[in-house]
Amino acid sequence: MGNNEMVQLRQKVDEINTQLLHLLNERAKVVQEIGQLKKIQGTKRFDPVREREVLDMIAEQNEGPFETTTLQHIFKTIFKASLELQEDDNRKALLVSRKKKQENTIVDIKGEKLGSGLQTFIMGPCAVESKEQVRQVAEAMKEQGIKLMRGGAFKPRTSPYDFQGLGVEGLQILREVADEYDLAVISEILNPNDVEISLEYVDVIQIGARNMQNFDLLRAVGRVNKPVLLKRGLAATIDEFVHAAEYIISQGNDQIILCERGIRTYEKATRNTLDISAVPILKKETHLPVVVDVTHSTGRKDLLLPTAKAALAIGADAVMAEVHPDPAVALSDSAQQMDIPQFHTFMDELKGFKNKLA
């Protein structure tokens, strides 16, 4: 008898559960519509005034047996879930997302097709110091069949008293040497005003980690017809990184390469902590090519090869590292750049590993 009553009561609860389930989803659909409207109107998704009104209505109408605070707590959870739903809907609409575009964006830099499945290398000195210095690196790169040369002309340094780069003269040197060796130039621009002049000299504009959320600069490079290599900010989440790329694509330029370069954590054994899992996450969530900068993420020469291998194994489109003819006298990052013989050893071993992967 008692058991029978229990079964009946549970049936009743189940019917109510089903109703609640339908009602919650029905509510969710209305919330989604509100989210769409807010997007069109450009208003914020979170509306604390509205939420307060709903909580007050609960207090007014509650007849128990639940305590008002208990019901309000449940409703706050519903609000939170509703906001997440609205956010998900907006994310679906991001232009950089895989949901928006299934196939990989291929960034073609002088025939090197990043995003095509080919895994390649981006090498070069941290900063351009002289033509001779860049030439020596270019020569070594040529020997290794590497086409993509990075080099800093405008250097954002932690201290204003440190070497700030050669500026436009540095870009000129890069272009001249690159043309001599048939290489492509990747170089960082710090200021929206320098974007136009850089177009004459570079094949790819780099946006550095410190500028990942310089929204004026992102919009400026979004308006030009030139590939952009966007580095992840020092303390940026993947979501913030993806949204920074969205600033660029929103202006029309979809030739974007994402670069994981390590993030700041409590760990002191490396300069930054290489977030290797960011690579497959970014490849899954966006359609953009992803490269890994092993020099800045580790800050340690002894970790360049293992992290580069990890980057290739996990599916990065390219590995980036720094090379200097005489790192001991380099004007920046002297401890972490490879010299030319180290570079050749690094490349030979890395290519061997890559062949094994294939």
Ligand X SMILES: C=C(O[C@@H]1C=C(C(=O)O)C=C[C@H]1O)C(=O)O
> What are the residues binding ligand X (CB under 6 A)?
31, 34, 45-47, 50-51, 54, 78-79, 82-83
Nearer of residues 45 and 354 to ligand X, judged by Cβ: 45
Nearer of residues 31 and 311 to ligand X, judged by Cβ: 31
- Least Å from the CB of residue 48 to ligand X: 7
d(CA 201, CA 203): 7
Question: 226 and 204 in contact (C-beta within 8 Å)?
Answer: yes
- Least Å from the CB of residue 56 to ligand X: 13
Residue keyed to tokens 């850089």: 198
Nearer of residues 47 and 339 to ligand X, judged by Cβ: 47
Name the nearest CA neighbour of 240 among 265, 217, 214.
214
d(CA 201, CA 317): 24
User: Closest-CB residue for ligand X?
Assistant: 82
Question: 71 and 58 in contact (C-beta within 8 Å)?
Answer: yes
Nearer of residues 79 and 353 to ligand X, judged by Cβ: 79
Burial 268-299 (b: 16+ CB within 10 A, else e): eeebbbbbbebbeebbebbbbbbbbbbbbbbb
Separation of first and last alpha carbons in the chain = 69
Nearer of residues 31 and 149 to ligand X, judged by Cβ: 31
Q: Name the packing angle between helices 168-181 and 131-143 (round to 10°).
A: 30
Q: What SS3 state is found at 58?
A: helix
Nearer of residues 62 and 250 to ligand X, judged by Cβ: 62
- Least Å from the CB of residue 82 to ligand X: 3
Q: What angle do CA 150, 152, 158 make, to 5 degrees?
A: 130
- Least Å from the CB of residue 79 to ligand X: 4
